[in-house]
Amino acid sequence: MTIRLLLVKDDEILMELPLSAGALSKDRLQQELDFFEDEFDRVTKLFDALSHTTRLRMVKRLFEEDDLTLGFTDFIKELGLNPKIVWQNTKKLCDGGLMEKDEDGRYSCSEAGRAQFLMISLMLRQLRDLF
């Protein structure tokens, strides 16, 4: 049995990636490793952004809002954080591409950030089941 991840847009398969152990050819594995090496800085920022409980709580809180946005003071009040912690963590989330700040000073989970967060969650579930 082969487990595959499909990225589909309007019924068109944009990318197909086997997730089962041994399902990747040696050439395909080398391509993926080369890509990962090229993207290492960006990937490091993404994982750094998600590597702390406070930042994970902040992203989770954004997903709970109907419009997926919160203001700086909302994080302080609703999560019981001090301003310095909110500033440091919103900066890391923005640097990692998971969050963006609009002209009104409200924070939202970026479109790319939503996709990355969900992909990482799915990937972690798969890795947990494999190991």
pTM above 0.75, yes or no: no
- Domains by residue range for the chain, with CATH: 50-113 (1.10.10.10)
Per-residue pLDDT tens digits for 21-78:
677 778 877 887 888 888 888 878 888 888 899 998 999 898 888 888 999 999 999 9
Name the amino acid, one letter, at 121: S
- In sequence order, what are the residues at sequence separation of 6 or more whose Cβ sits closer than 8 angstroms to the Cβ of residue 117? 50, 59, 98, 109
| pLDDT of res. 131 | 64
Give the pairing of strands 4-9 and 12-18: antiparallel
